[in-house]
Every structure is written in C-alpha cells, then in structure tokens.
Structure 1
Amino acid sequence: MYRFASFFSPEEIEQIHEASLEILEDVGLLVRNEKARSVFARRGCRVDNQTTLVKIPRQVVEDCRSSFVPNYKFIAQDPQYDVVLPDDRPVIVTGSSAPNIIDPKTGEERRATSTDIANIAHLINELPGFDVFSISTLADDAPEGQFALSRFYPALKNCKKPVRSNTPTIKDLEMVLELGEIIAGSKEAYMERPFINHHYCPVVSPLTMDVESTEAIIYLTEKGLPVYGTIVPNAGMSAPMSLMGTLVLGNAEFLALSTLIQSIRPGAPMIYAVLSTVADMRTGDYAPGAIETGILQMAHTEMARFYNVPSGGYIGLTNSHCNDAQSGYETGMNVTAALLAGADLFNMGGLLSSLMTFDYAKAVIDNEIALMLKRITRGMEFSKENMCLDLIKEVGPGGNYMDKMHTLKNMKTTAVLPKVANRQGRGHWEEEGRPDSHARALAEAKKILMQDNPARFPAELDAKIRSHFPGIVPGDCKW
C-alpha cells in the first residue's frame, strides 16, 4: 500500500475545492468557443454570449464530478504496449512539440523536421523507460495543408508504443483520424482500438477557454475517442504570485474543463494534467525547471486523489540548454517529488531549453531517470522470501553471496543497471577518454538509431497510406 507525500489535511483540501467552486460561480471564465458555451448553457450555467463570460454554479460542477472515472487508458498499435493510469504508474511520456532539435551529428541547434520525428520515434520505441511517445518536435518540412500528418505519420510509422499529440484545426484532426483508420484497416477497427491519443491545452490562464483546442476536445469527446487537457497557470504572469493562489486557480480551470467534458459524455476518462509554474520575476522568464513546478504538481496530485482521477503532466523539465548539472537536478528533483506525491503521468523526456529543443542524449538520460522512478515505485517488495533468512543462515558470518544462485537469479532485477551513469573506477574512465554523461548518452542513442527499426510499417500498408495522402513526407528513419 502506497503512502503518498502530502501538504494538506482533508479539511484543507475541502477548502481548496470550495475556493475553486467560488471562482467558477462568482468570477466565471471566458469561453471563446460557441459550441462550448452552448454545452454550458444546456447544463444550466449562466452564459453571456456577448461577453463570452460563463459562470458555472457549484451544483453543476458537483453533478459532473459524480461521473468522473478513476482510470485512463493509452492505446497502442501493438496491444502489448497499452498502459492504464493509475495501474501502470509511473507512465513516462516524452516532452512534446519543440520547434528545434540538437543535431546529433553537428551538435548545433536547428529546426526539427519530419525525419527527426521518425528517428525519435525509433529511439523511443527501443528505450524501455518510456511508455508513450508524445511527438517530440514540430516538422519544419511539412507540406502545406499537412502540418499534423507530417508529425503523426512518421511517429506512427516508427513506434508501436502509444503515440500522443495534438492538431491545430479540426481539418487536421480529421486527416489524422483518416490515417489511423487506414493503419487499423477500417473505421470500425480503429474505433475498437483508437491508438492515436489526443492532448490539448484548451484553457488559457487565467480562466479563458480558446476556440480551436476547445473545438477539438468537444469533437473527440462526442466521438468517444481518447483525449485529455492540460492546465497551465504561470504564477506572477497568468496566476497569482502565490503557490496556493496558483493551485486554486488551476484547480478551478481543471474543474471547468471537466464540467465541459462530462456534460458532453458522462463517464469520459480524463487526466488531471497540469504544467503549473512560477515565473522568474527578476526577468519574467518562463521557469518550468524550477522546484516550484514540482511543488505545484504535488499539490495538484493531492487534488486529483480527492477527485479520484489520474494525475500528472509536464514535470521533470529543465531550463538548461545542455545536459549539465542543472538539467540533471531540475529533472531529477521534480520528478521524484511528483512520484512521491502519487502522480501517475510524467511528460519528461528529451527536452531542453524550457520545452523549446529536443536532444537525443537528453532522451537517453531521461530514460535512465524513468527506470529509476519505476524502481522507486516497486519499493522494497516486502515478503518473507525476500528477507532471505535461509540464505543468510547458509552463508553465515564472513561468507560471500557473489557465487550463490540467488544472486545470479536476482542480479538483473533487484537493481537498475544504468548505461549512462558511470560506475567504473577513475582509471577505466580516463582510459575511455573521460566521457561525461552527455557523451555516453549520445553514443547509446546513435547505437540504437544505426540498427534496423522493427516497428516500421509493412511496405504494403505504407504504400496505401502514401497513395491516400499524395505528397506526404517520407516518414523514414535516416541516420
């Protein structure tokens, strides 16, 4: 049984919930999407179509809370990679939608392309710490009218794990769903296992719902397809310069989005996902790597447990522009804090520079951190057998366990055996040229990318897709 870290008493959690209800009922939020305003109006909310202000009575929120469900499933092309929150926690997801990439050959930052997406998909498919590939970059080479296709096609073509991202318009979304149906073999087959997972940020803090992302949430919820949203208040900019104020505001925004989703389809699975941050007010710079991001994630996770829904979000990010000590401690501190608080989902893999840049070595390092998080979750595995009393008696004082069958049997499962972290003596390290963690991680990434990709589409399926979408990007790994 897990005992999670917590900040609040049950009474304090109730007060946070009540404060969020008061915000929704008395302050309300701007809802720019007309369909969403209609949904709220039918539910009994006070809607002003001229100002787009919507005020949500607390009873409406409480009624929607009654249809919350405790699980969320990420579906993969290959069923062996399906993951369920919270059962399979921690579920590790790559960071997503960075415009830039560190070129693994030149070490220079440049715009990312669809070929980069194919290579990253291959890498993530082979790194065991990652459970979901949230498409890590944009595609600067996307043909006109195929922005979303140029991301989802190379991702799905090269990764059998669940793939997750978003689309800028409904037209883009419909094209991506067509792609899914072709891969599945039919629309009916796709609807049985919708392996494209959708994610949006429809709430723009403070207290505003946008047009396009909200439209996509409505569209997918109506069709019963997997989708969830992330709440992103930024203390000092779009939220109060107070951790409690940012928590209450973000919680209200989560409840507003949840009310919309549950009003459309009661029982629709959701994730209480956040990227709550505190701006560095010395400069106004965005600071997702700050420890306050982890503290806020811990607090939101407590609220998620109160609502009995899965939790998580973008956590383990860094402001650093390279794989240095700052990158390591910002990622490590925040994901560990979130894990101990009970978070289920971690968008943490591969991004530097405040979500702006993907780096292959960072992804490999984060894979190692992910394996450590999974090992923490396993814990001590209490049992009489694991106490090893018979073995301790057999070896006795002054004995040695190295040559025992028990050691051989458990050596690969008891401890994480890292590929990046260096455990050799200094002499060996110097003989190898004194490589740092970045160099070792990049070498591991290159090793994977030089191998054949077992996840690649069969030629017949690929030809069918390319015929249906003329001019689509190649979508192939290229090293």
Structure 2
Amino acid sequence: MTMRPRLQFLTHETIERVVAEGYDLLSDPGVRVHSERALHLLAKHGAEVDFEAQVVRIPADLARQAVETVPSSFHLYDADGQPTVHYGSDDVHFDPGSAAIEILDHGAKHSRPPITADFVRFVKLADGLDALDGVATSLVCADVPQEVADLYRLYLILLYTRKPVVTGAFAVETWGVMRDLLVTVAGSEEALAEKPTAIFDACPSPPLSWSEITCENLMDCARYQVPAELVSMPLTGATGPATLLGAVVQHTAENLSGVAIHQLVNPGAPIVWGGSPAAFDMRTGTTPMGAIETIMIDCAYAEVGKYLGLPTHAYMGMSDSKVVDGQCGFESGIGAVLGALTGINMISGPGMLDFESCFSLEKLVIDAEIVGMAKRLVAGMAERETPLALEIIRQVGHAGNFLSTRHTRRWFREELFIPSPVVDRDFRHHWEDKGCLDVTERAHQRVEEIIAAYEPSPLPDEVTRELEAITLRAAQAAGMDRLPERR
C-alpha cells in the first residue's frame, strides 16, 4: 500500500460553481471567434452566431456534450513507438518550458537571441535528462525567418531526440508542414494518429476570444487526431478578473469553448485542459509566472479539469528572475512541487526565466533535480513490509546500526531519491577541495558533461533526408537559400 500526498485548493461545491459560471459565459456574452470555418461549424450544431461581429453564443448543452466525448486519458509515444507520457488520472510528467526568444549563457548577465547551435545543445541536454519525460520546442531560433521558426524547431527536435514533443504552430500554413514532419517519422497519418508523438498548444486570446491562427490549428489537430493542449492565459486584473477564482472562471469558459470547437470537428479526438495564466503585477506591468498566486490559479484550474474528467497540463516550475539565482530556485521549486501534488499530468516549465521569455541550460539541469524530488514526493510513502519495522528494529537492537543489514541494502535505493552532483550533499571540506563551486557552476559542469556524452539515435537515412527536404522547401519559400549549420 502506498499513501500518496495530495493538494486541493477548491471544494467540490466551489468547482461546481466555477464550471456553472463557465458554461453560462459561453452563451452570455459568448465567445469571439476569428475563424469563418469555426463559426460555420458552431452554427451548424445549433450555436447562435453573429457572423458580422464574429461572436458565437454556445449553448451549455452543446459544450457539455463536447466535454463528454473527450477521452479521459491517452498516451504520447516516443519515436520508437513506446508509450512515454500518460495524460490522465493523477500521473505527473515534466517537459521544458517554451517558447523562449532569448537564451542566457553561463556566467552572463545579459541574454541574447538563440540560434540553431543553441537549440541543438538544448535538445542534446534535454534528451540526456531522465527526469524530463518529454521535450519542447523551447527556443525560437533567430537565424531563420519567423515564417518558419515554428516548424524549424520541430525539425531539429526530430533529428536529435526520440522523446515525445510539446510544440505549437505560429501560423495556419505551418501547422500542415509540422504535421508532415511528424508523419514522416511516424510512417503514415494513420500511424501518427494511433501513436501520437507530439502535442500542440492552442491558446485562446483573453478575454473570451480565439484568433484565426489558433482556432484553425485547433481544428486541424482534431481533424488529424493529433493531440491538442488548451492554454488559456487570463491575467488577473488585466485581461481577466482581479480575483483568483474569477480568473479560474474565465479560464474555464475559454477552455470549454475550445473543447466545443475541437470536439465538433472530430468527437473523441484527444485534447488537454491546460493553461498559462498569471497574476498581473500592478506595480511593474509584468506577468510573474513564479508568483504564488499564479501557481494557485494553475492548481485550481487543474482541479476543474479533473472534475470534468479531462487530462491536465500547466506551465509551472518557472522563475521570473533574470539569472540563475536564489529567486530562480525557490520560485521554480514551489511551482513544480505544488503542480505535482495537484496531480497535473504534464508540467511545462523547466529551464525558463524572465516571464517565459528566456531559457537557461543551467537552470534546466537544476530544475531536473527539482523534478526528481517532486516525483519522489508524489510517489508517497509505501508500506514495504508487514509489520512495518518491528523485526529489523528488534534485530539491530540498542547498540547496533542499520548500515550493514540486508534490509538497508534491499530498500535504500527504492526509498531515496539520489540526486546528481548538481545537488551538494557533501562535507564542507570536500566541497572546498573541489573548488567551492556553487549550484550554477556545478550545473554548468553537468550541462557540458551531458552534451559531450550525447549519443544519437539516428533516424533512417531516407527519413532524415525527407525531413530536411520538407524543412528546406518551407525555408526557401520564406527567402532562405539553405538551412543553417547545426554546429
């Protein structure tokens, strides 16, 4: 028997009120949808649509029926066809955050735009961190045109790791190219639908709006059975109510509208109840992802998703610090641990700084240790033996020790999370003998060690050639002669 710790912010009654208000908002004031295809789809199924204003009033019954057709669980697979990430129940997984437009080099105070070589180093590092269950298209490369930046990230991911991918498209047209890349690795559209290797974020625009790009991407995901992840992003007091529960209500309405659109395209297609809200800082005008109120909203909306029987996701485990420092550690640690205790299926955030805009490889390594501890925490305490410990304590008695016992050899590795050398648990004199390195310096050493030890698992040559051909065609259409060097 294992006793798993859990965290709960909302009562059952409060969740019911949140959901009821979310359904009410779908019909009054309704949702603005900047997609003719989606508006016609909703109208066909009984929603009241003002095509001129692009506002749709979605009946609560229509949205409820859509929620009922969503699978309560599904898997993401690695490139070898093995189920790696389980969306559902209280299973907890982690992947790096996204999508950073800056990268922070070790020892630097100022960030810079990332390029292809930075992305390759990131993927090699993420591939070697066992604590991370998936990878993400975490950096936006500045050495390719923005018209192809989204698909180019996915191309690099597919070349350098077998792990499943959390990604997203920046345009209507590029979603199809990204699907082609995934199909090339999977072997066919049917194989990709049967064993999906990627999930696409779809972000409504608060308050209560859907852009054409995001809405079209969402419908395309449903059509081709590629998992989608709803990412509602209300900012308290700015693009959402100032109260935390008010933000959860708006999040609920926005995600419910996304579920309705998605399931009307293809009932039963996989979709995840996710988000990236923030507690807006009225002093600075910033969106602190490490604020405790942001974390509270994340955990609360995940409880709403679980109440509805849907898989869950959140952007957590991030920091608003500009460098890898103490603030970076405590903000990321609190978010990762509370998200895990809530049982959120996929927590995206490791590696991220500066309001989700900057990435640090050293932070990713440190966060992997936090993730290991968080996973150990939610694994709980197990009753390994019956009686619990009477026999071994009596055997050792008053004057003995437990170090040499078979009982210790049997259980200590299963009971304890053993961190990498990034976490300092040594005596002070040993630490001094090793150069008095702080956690960031130790993390940098581990970054270089993992990247140096990277062993590729190459795709078949014909698959690699086709991936490059697809990406090059898109790049040439955007004005490039050739793809950047990857070293």
Give the C-alpha shift of residue 318 in structure 1: 0.9
The CA distance in 2 between the partners of 1:299 and 1:94, in whole Å, is 22
Residue number in structure 1 paired with 2:123: 121
- 1:147 CA drift (Å): 2.5
Asked if 1:210 corresponds to 2:211, the answer is yes
1:230-241 pair list within 5 angstroms = 230-241=231-242
SS in 2 for 1:271: strand
Amino acid at match of 1:22: D
Alignment of 1:27-66 (within 5 A): 27-66=29-68
Cα distance in 1 between the residues matched to 2:376 and 2:159: 30
Work out the CA distance in 2 between the residues paired with 1:354 and 1:266: 35
C-alpha contact (below 8 Å) 1:81/1:162 kept by paired residues? no
CA distance in 2, matches of 1:40, 1:23: 16
Question: SS of the residue aligned with 2:257?
Answer: helix
Q: Take 1:373 and 1:144, find their aligned partners in 2: how far apart are those partners?
A: 36
Mapped contact 1:46–1:55 kept (Cα < 8 A):
yes
Compare 180-189 and 151-160 and name the one that shifted more.
180-189
User: Does the Cα contact within 8 Å between 1:429 and 1:435 map onto a contact in 2?
Assistant: yes
The answer (yes or no) to whether the contact 1:304–1:310 under 8 Å persists in 2 is yes
CA-CA distance at 1:217 after TM superposition: 0.7
Q: How far off is 1:386 after superposition?
A: 8.2
| CA contact 2:41–2:264 (8 Å) conserved in 1 | yes
Q: Could you tell me how far 1:26 is from its partner in structure 2?
A: 1.6
From the superposition, tell whether residues 13 and 321 of structure 1 become closer, same or farther in structure 2 (CA, over 3 Å).
same
**SS where residue 387 of structure 1 aligns?**
coil
Separation (CA, whole Å) in 2 of partners of 1:152 and 1:442: 25
CA, structure 1 residues 161+324, in 2 after alignment: closer, same or farther (shift >3 Å)?
same
Q: 1:101 aligns with which of 103, 108, 111?
A: 103
CA shift digits 1:407-465 (9 cap, x unpaired): 23333332111121111122222222221111111110110111242334355542343
* Deviation, structure 1 residue 371: 0.6
Contact 2:336 2:347 in 1 (8 A): yes
Aligned counterparts of 2:107 and 2:431: Cα–Cα separation in 1: 23
Q: Which residue does 1:284 correspond to in 2?
A: 285
- Would you say how many aligned residue pairs link Structure 1 and Structure 2? 476
Aligned residue in 1 for 2:483:
473
In structure 1, list runs of 5 or more residues that go unmatched: none
Q: Residue 87 of structure 1: CA displacement?
A: 5.2
CA contact (8 A) 2:276 2:315 kept: yes
Q: CA deviation at 1:95?
A: 0.1
User: What does 1:399-478 align with in structure 2 at a 5 Å threshold?
Assistant: 399-419=400-420, 420-470=422-472, 473=483, 476=486, 478=487
- Given residue 168 of structure 1, which amino acid in structure 2 is its aligned partner? F
Cα-Cα RMSD: 2.2
1:22 aligns to what?
24
Check whether the contact 2:152–2:471 (CA below 8 A) recurs between aligned residues.
Answer: no
- In 1, the alpha carbon distance for the partners of 2:120 and 2:84 equals 21
- The 10-residue stretch of structure 1 (305-314 or 136-145) with the greater mean CA deviation from structure 2: 136-145
Compared CA separation, residues 196 and 297, structure 1 to 2 (3 A) = closer
**What does residue 112 of structure 2 align with?**
110
Counterpart residue identity of residue 204, structure 1: S
In the alignment, is the contact (CA less than 8 A) between 1:45 and 1:56 conserved in 2?
Answer: yes
Asked if 2 retains the 8 angstrom alpha-carbon contact of 1:118 and 1:475, the reply is: no
Q: 1:369 to 1:28 in 2, by over 3 A?
A: same
What is residue 247 of structure 2 aligned with on the other side? 246
Q: 1:459 to 1:106 in 2, by over 3 A?
A: farther
Q: Using the alignment, how far apart are the partners of 2:348 and 2:125 within structure 1?
A: 16
Matched ranges for 1:215-230 at <5 A: 215-230=216-231
TM-score w.r.t. length of structure 1: 0.93
2:160 to 158, 167, 177: 158
The alpha-carbon deviation at position 60 of structure 1 amounts to 1.6
Question: How far apart in 1 are the matches of 2:67 and 2:372?
Answer: 34
Cα deviation digits, residues 297-325 of structure 1 (max 9, x gap): 12112211210112231012111011111
Are residues 429 and 122 of structure 1, via their aligned partners in 2, closer, same or farther at CA, if it must alter by over 3 Å?
same
Structure 1 CA distance for aligned equivalents of residues 411 and 482 of structure 2: 48
Cα-to-partner distance string for 1:318-376 (whole Å, 9 max, x where unaligned): 11011111111111112222222232221121011111111011000110111111101
**Residues 191 and 309 from structure 1, CA distance in 2 versus in 1: closer, same or farther, beyond 3 angstroms?**
closer
- Give the superposition deviation at 1:473: 3.1
1:379-398 alignment, distance < 5 Å: 379-385=380-386, 387-398=388-399
Q: Secondary structure at the match of 1:110?
A: coil
Q: Which secondary structure does the structure 2 equivalent of 1:78 belong to?
A: coil
Partner of 2:362: 361
SS in 2 for 1:89: coil
Counterpart for residue 335 of structure 1: 336
1:180 and 1:190 in contact (8 A); partners too: yes
The gaps in structure 2 that reach 5 residues or longer are 473-480
Deviations 1:124-144 (A, max 9, x none): 111011011111100111257
Who is 1:176 aligned against?
A: 178
More displaced stretch, 142-151 vs 322-331: 142-151
Seen in structure 2, the aligned counterparts of structure 1 residues 157 and 385 have a Cα distance that, compared at 3 Å, is: farther
In structure 2, the residue corresponding to 1:248 is in which secondary structure? helix
Q: Which moved more, 1:43-52 or 1:269-278?
A: 269-278
Between the aligned residues of both structures, percent identity stands at 27
1:185-200 correspondence to structure 2 within 5 Å? 185-200=187-202
**Map of 2:266 onto structure 1:** 265
| Equivalent AA in structure 2 for residue 261 of structure 1 | H
CA contact (8 A) 1:71 1:310 kept: yes
Q: How does 1:311-322 map to 2 (within 5 A)?
A: 311-322=312-323
The C-alpha deviation readout for 1:107-150, integer Å capped at 9, x for no partner, is: 75211122222221111111011011111100111257533332
8 Å CA contact 2:137, 2:153 repeated in 1 = yes
Normalised by the length of structure 2, the TM-score is 0.92
TM-aligned CA distance change 1:105 to 1:6, over 3 Å: closer
Is the partner of 1:235 in helix, strand or coil? coil
Q: Which moved more, 1:314-323 or 1:185-194?
A: 185-194
